[in-house]
Amino acid sequence: MLINIKYIYLACDGWTNPSGESIWNFVIHTSNHHEYLWSLRNLTSERHTKELLAEEIELIIDYYGSEKFIAIVTDAGANIQAARTIITSKYKHILNVRCIAHAINLISKDICKTPFANKILKYCNTLVTYFKSSHKAGK
């Protein structure tokens, strides 16, 4: 499948769906800017230990060959951070990377909870609602 690709990195994350199931995704990003969903795994019945997550990651690394991988990217959950450390200890050339987009998302959520930001967002929503619902404002 990705035989002629120079390098790849793996991004993974877990979340709980509305049914209460723990779903983990594993996405491969290639040097030619393509993304491939490797798998969506229902790990509801498993304990999300660093060892389990490292094993899941290593299956992917073994499939393509460790020489193609340059990084593992995840959020800052303690278990997945520890799994990244296991992988990068074993494969010294693979970088251990925390997802900056996830960090910015968390920071933005905290900022939006402040009274000042909440007030500004309320005013913005009022303006947007006015322009969306007014035929005169849309001209």
Q: State how far the Cα of 106 lies from the Cα of 32, in Å rounded to an integer.
A: 29
Q: What is the pLDDT along the chain (139 residues), one digit of tens a residue?
A: 555 677 889 999 999 999 999 999 999 999 888 899 999 999 999 999 999 999 999 999 999 899 999 999 999 889 999 999 999 999 999 999 998 888 898 899 899 889 999 899 999 999 998 888 877 655 5
pLDDT of residue 4: 66
pLDDT of residue 7: 85
78-108 per-residue burial string, b: 16 or more CB within 10 A, e: under 16: ebbeebbebbbeeeeebebeebeeeeeeeee
Grouping H, G, I as helix, E, B as strand and the rest as coil, residue 73 is: strand
**Whether the model pTM is above 0.85:** no
